[in-house]
Structure 1
Amino acid sequence: MRGARLRGLRRRITWRKLVTVPGAVVVILLLTWLYVSDTHLDSIARNSLSGGNVQLRLWQHIQLTAISTFWVLVIALPLGIALTRPALRKAAPGVTALANIGQAAPAIGLLALLVIWLGIGPSTAIAGMVVYAVLPVLANTVAGLRAIDPGLVEAAKGIGMSGRGTLARVELPLAVPLILAGVRTALVLNVGTATLATFGGGGGLGDLITSGIQTQRMPVLIIGSVLTVCLALIVDWLASLVEVVLTPHGLETI
């Protein structure tokens, strides 16, 4: 069984899948570095890019993405599971519609409202990112669990599995592909939305982007934008690998 699983992973995680995205990111970063190193930087641009400021903003961006995604999972996964249970099944449309409002609202407007309510700071930016990204995980969790053949659930209960056992050993493994697709979408959304954290005092690469726009310093703007794009590509690539690894062997597709 384990050997078959390993063979399936080798078949799906090809060398192209492992190399293409990181290789493209390396090329993009190299071209950006060549551009910046060949460009005359005045004192304003140098101040924006020196002293470890770029590394600091990149690290802040990673932290914002990781923390917000963690809270999205903590909220959306248990809630999605609960909404597929008989006691709360009727509440699912209303809760999903409420989550949809959060994503339908313009991100910058949502962040502005949260700043008025919670004040300026990273926690406000993270709260806005969570509200904005919770829908894909919630909706996919509900859809994945509802798509399971009821006969499989009844068969599991028929052989003596408890409700929790059926959920853990039958329902969740079968729903994993859809759930992971929602998590992957939320991750990429959070990388993009984190650029708006600068307007709420949250830092991140958005600081470089807005600084480049306000001071009209193209190198600063390009570095902030390119790093954001590269981070989104790497996050999506890593999530795709995790998706392959966690998908049950019987549900793998070529």
Structure 2
Amino acid sequence: MPEKKWENVVRAGLFLVIISFIGWAYVAGSFRFIADNPDELIYLLGQHLKLVGLSSFLAVLVAVPLGIFITRPRFKKFDWIVINFANVGQTVPSLAVLALVMSYLGLGYKTAVFALWFYSLLPILRNTIAGIESVNPSVIDAGKGMGMKPSQILWKLELPNASYAILAGIRTSTVINIGTAALAFLIGGGGLGDFIFTGISLYDTGIMLAGAVPVTMLAITIDFLLGKLEKRIIPKGLHWESD
């Protein structure tokens, strides 16, 4: 119960922060600017969603199978190489990642997608590895005792038991990606960063927040929806008590 109360306090605090942020944006004239430029907002929001959607999808497509691959006994010795490679995407600042990718691929949408994909790999990869490695060995032994093949153990025992960690990694990666995608504007990738950096260059807080508020609300909405999806996908017996 104390944990539940603490969770409620944190949620109340976050709610107050969000309300204050929106109030600041209203006073700065952000909503008036949005009301005067609805078509531009919708266009930039669409670009932002495409950037995040494609890069996150590709990150899942690569990181989850790669995480499974290097948890197999015969390939486990390569895990430090793969993890350190993915670490580069998180240890190097996001602006530096964009600059490095831009120097090789040039400017544009594809470059932004590639940079965001690379930056999104680590949380998913780490959680996939941690989730699979945290499966109780007795569960694996029981599966072997029942005559299950390695592929059956993976799909019927390891992945279901690791699903909470894997989905949490995808959720974290996607939310981080939404914020990072605002930087794509700097290399011609489009997105809501257009408003943010235009506002910064013009010293206009209203225009800047006209981009920052939709990014924030988008991150909160996606996080909420992915949280609901987790509860539907994860087997009921594996849910945390707090859920």
Q: How many residues align?
A: 232
Amino acid at match of 2:135: I
Determine the C-alpha separation between the residues in 1 that align with 2:171 and 2:189.
23
Instruction: Tell me which residue corresponds to 1:81.
Output: 68
Instruction: Tell me which residue corresponds to 1:189.
Output: 176
- SS where residue 73 of structure 2 aligns? coil
Instruction: Tell me which residue corresponds to 1:177.
Output: 164
1:36 aligned residue (16, 24, 29): 29
Determine the C-alpha separation between the residues in 2 that align with 1:62 and 1:31.
25
Amino acid at match of 1:53: E
Amino acid at match of 1:36: G
1:200 aligned residue (183, 187, 190): 187
1:93 aligned residue (80, 104, 111): 80
- SS where residue 140 of structure 2 aligns? helix
Determine the C-alpha separation between the residues in 1 that align with 2:90 and 2:227.
23
Amino acid at match of 2:160: P
- SS where residue 167 of structure 1 aligns? helix
Task: Report deviation, 1:133.
Answer: 1.2
Q: Map 1:130-149 onto structure 2 (within 5 A).
A: 130-149=117-136
Instruction: Tell me which residue corresponds to 1:252.
Output: 239
Task: Report deviation, 1:216.
Answer: 2.1
Instruction: Tell me which residue corresponds to 1:243.
Output: 230
Task: Report deviation, 1:157.
Answer: 2.2
CA contact (8 A) 1:212 1:221 kept: yes
Task: Report deviation, 1:25.
Answer: 7.3
Change in Cα spacing, 1:157 to 1:37, as seen in structure 2 (3 Å) is closer
Task: Report deviation, 1:37.
Answer: 7.7
Determine the C-alpha separation between the residues in 2 that align with 1:220 and 1:213.
8
- SS where residue 212 of structure 1 aligns? helix
TM-score scaled by structure 2? 0.86
Q: Map 1:21-32 onto structure 2 (within 5 A).
A: 32=25
Task: Report deviation, 1:154.
Answer: 2.2
Determine the C-alpha separation between the residues in 1 that align with 2:220 and 2:21.
11
- SS where residue 52 of structure 1 aligns? helix
Change in Cα spacing, 1:89 to 1:208, as seen in structure 2 (3 Å) is same
Q: State the percentage of identical aligned residues.
A: 36
Task: Report deviation, 1:249.
Answer: 1.4
Instruction: Tell me which residue corresponds to 1:212.
Output: 199
TM-score scaled by structure 1? 0.82
CA contact (8 A) 1:125 1:197 kept: yes
For the pair 1:228 / 2:215, whether they are aligned, the reply is yes
CA contact (8 A) 1:145 1:175 kept: yes
Task: Report deviation, 1:218.
Answer: 2.2
| Deviation digits for residues 77-125 of structure 1 (CA, Å, limit 9, x no counterpart) | 0000000001210101121011111110011011011111011111111
Q: What value does the CA root-mean-square deviation take over the aligned residues?
A: 2.8
Q: Map 1:55-74 onto structure 2 (within 5 A).
A: 55-74=42-61
Consecutive unaligned residues in structure 2, runs of 5 or more: 1-7
- SS where residue 204 of structure 1 aligns? coil
CA contact (8 A) 1:25 1:233 kept: no
